[in-house]
Structure 1
């Protein structure tokens, strides 16, 4: 019997909802709040209030792969250079948490904390992103930050810093529930396939597809149209994905030409295989089997969080900043 693609994708989203790992999410939030309080106590008036960002804040997180991101906005006069700001934060986190973490590592624009397993076997992973306000005493009004670039690649390859507006990145996806569903599905495919593509890139290209094309119909039909858009556009000369936090940043610059072609070809192959045999959708977009039984006993929908579970995610070393 052929697979109902729409129903399968609905089940995929349902089994990857954050509600299934509420106990773990609570642990993440507790640890995040502890770190926030420690940072505010240590840096005092040199920082504005830290805030949450990343996939959890954007409501695009999936329960097989997530961490919590915290942005720490420093005041313009807090450090002479961005590098000193970055190193100061790393030194503080190392001194404060070296005895309770497996690793504290410098990443592209953030510092990753991977805490030791607790009694349940869970690991808490946080990404701490330091930024210094672009204009003296203006952060509260314009939300503009300069980030230090520790590891250079792609759009960061020739820079020691990058200007961004993380709040604008968060706002860019607000009230876009249809887009968020497709983003989560593409992240599930990406994680299942080796996580080759940055979540922020998949997010921006999905939103652009909805802006440029008539993306309608049921869940499969929407996903299919977004995949067709990626297939047709991603390797095109002049195709851009502009960072809503800085119009000078083009996320397509994070991909080499062969990577763009590869992404286009993979979308084409997936579309052909799924449309020739609907059962193939299961290999590209698998359910989270840990929570299939939970799904059968729940008729709720959306992104909500309700019950407990266990999973953890280790952030990649070359993490996205959106």
Structure 2
């Protein structure tokens, strides 16, 4: 097996079946119908986002965002909008509050209440969201997010980096990872998966501690700001360890393949377990590697 075949196998193993996608869509449609029935003409539009809609989902990290865009005058405040939607969903489903969304814990669905900024222009999808963590607001545009991913040509690299972060228990929000990969490869001339992944890992080591990931829908929003420093440091240390596996590998195909398996924390077929110690050291080099709160949003 070549390294490229191995990376393609990782992608194939994490591929979501059409049956699974359809099941998630059915649950999304159920929730959408209930919200429309409850809020009626207060709802202006409904948009679909999340990793499944953006085609960046992997089986171990998949979700559909159900963005409910309310009319501008539907609620007096964004907090009232968020809390009203949360209370309704809480009466009907198992839910949890997230930064700007409401997670349905039994579904792979997040509901994102938003209030339209421009009431008249149907083509303008800018909305304000309520931040439940600090009671502030944030501007966003789901259609801009989706087109940014589509036009990047980086979907497979994004998926592999999501697989990588899950294999190492790196806590870095999915949307932030998407933006990071696109930013890392913006001027890249590399074409193969392994070269592109290596460039992203090098970018993480060089930049992640103070990275600025600009929201394509809001230039004032640095998506990386909400990621704690110890998580960025753990990501950097882990990426550095993984690059050392590649640097230490011989040029022959078996050695290269073994190194890339180590990059993805894959012990299959490995007889030399010396890198178990390396991964433990990588974790202990962070200030708080053991505490890993829930993911989301994005």
TM-score (normalised: structure 2): 0.82
1:89 — aligned with what? Answer: 85
Gapped runs of 5+ residues in structure 1?
Answer: 116-123, 153-158, 290-315
* Aligned partner (choices 285, 304, 316) of residue 264 of structure 2: 285
1:182 — aligned with what? Answer: 157
| Cα offsets for 1:40-98 (capped at 9, x unmatched) | 22222111221210111110000122122110000110000111111111122123x24
Gapped runs of 5+ residues in structure 2?
Answer: 250-255, 269-292
1:171 — aligned with what? Answer: 147
1:50 — aligned with what? Answer: 46
Aligned residues: 266
- Contact kept, 8 Å, 1:108 with 1:317, in 2: the verdict is no
1:108 — aligned with what? Answer: 99
- Contact kept, 8 Å, 2:168 with 2:265, in 1: the verdict is no
| Higher alpha-carbon deviation: 256-265 or 168-177 | 256-265
| Distance across 2 between alignment mates of 1:208 and 1:230 | 11
- Contact kept, 8 Å, 2:69 with 2:116, in 1: the verdict is yes
2:123 — aligned with what? Answer: 141
For 1:174, what is the secondary structure of its paired residue?
helix
| Distance across 1 between alignment mates of 2:204 and 2:170 | 17
1:192 — aligned with what? Answer: 167
For 1:148, what is the secondary structure of its paired residue?
strand
Residues 134/229 of structure 1: CA separation in 2 closer, same or farther (3 Å cut): same
TM-score (normalised: structure 1): 0.76
| Distance across 2 between alignment mates of 1:256 and 1:39 | 34
What are the equivalent positions in structure 2 for 1:70-89 lying under 5 Å apart?
70-89=66-85
What are the equivalent positions in structure 2 for 1:172-321 lying under 5 Å apart?
172-177=148-153, 179-211=154-186, 213-235=187-209, 239-277=211-249, 278=256, 279-285=258-264, 317=294, 319-321=296-298
Give the number of the structure with larger relative contact order, counting CA–CA contacts within 8 Å between residues 6 or more apart. 1
For 2:204, what is the secondary structure of its paired residue?
helix
